[in-house]
Amino acid sequence: METFKDEHDFYQEGEEREEMDQFYKNHRNFGLRAKHELKRAERYCEFLSLLIVDLSSLSKFAKRGALKNYRRIEVLSQELEALIQESVRETDLVSGVEDHRLLLLLSETPKEGAKSLAKRLGERVKYYISNAVKTPQGWQVPMNIFSYPDRRGKDKFLSFIQEITQS
């Protein structure tokens, strides 16, 4: 009987995680959560990083007819969301793609850790995209990182969160 209960709890936790993931795909909801997490990081003196993946070049490639395998840009964006979601920790929060940006909130992650993740994700996303889109040689996935407690990072973090929660 105990095994059934453990298995049931496991699946229920998975369903709850999926519901929360769907809720935070919206950048406004994501921004509100990020603002809350920043306050928490300040209160408990913890690291917090925000990683912004710039996917604006995908629409440029699509306009040039560079999409391979007749993929639509929306489908490719959803596939990238899933790829990134499976590449981060369960405690990290991944948004959906809006305004050609995908956001990651990295709890308890200093700027150096976010840079390391950005490098790994950049390579993984670049490889994935190059299989779906004719990309120019040397193309990179642009990313920005804002981190707390870095002073300038905190100000930029807050400014960006303000921007996405107002729109």
| Residues forming beta bridges with residue 133, ordered by sequence position | 67
What's the pLDDT at 151? Answer: 77
C-alpha–C-alpha distance, residues 34 and 12, integer Å: 25
What H or E segment, with its residue span, contains residue 157?
helix 151-166
Total of domains in the chain: 1
Q: What is the pLDDT of residue 64?
A: 61
Which pLDDT value is given to residue 9? 57
Q: Is the peptide bond before 149 cis (omega within 30 degrees of 0)?
A: yes
Strand partners, 105: 50, 93
pTM, 2 dp = 0.80
C-alpha 80/C-alpha 165 separation (Å) is: 23
Task: Give residue 52's pLDDT.
Answer: 94
What is the CATH classification number for the domain harbouring 104? 3.30.70.270
Domain containing residue 146: 2-166
- Stretches in the chain below the pLDDT threshold 50: 70
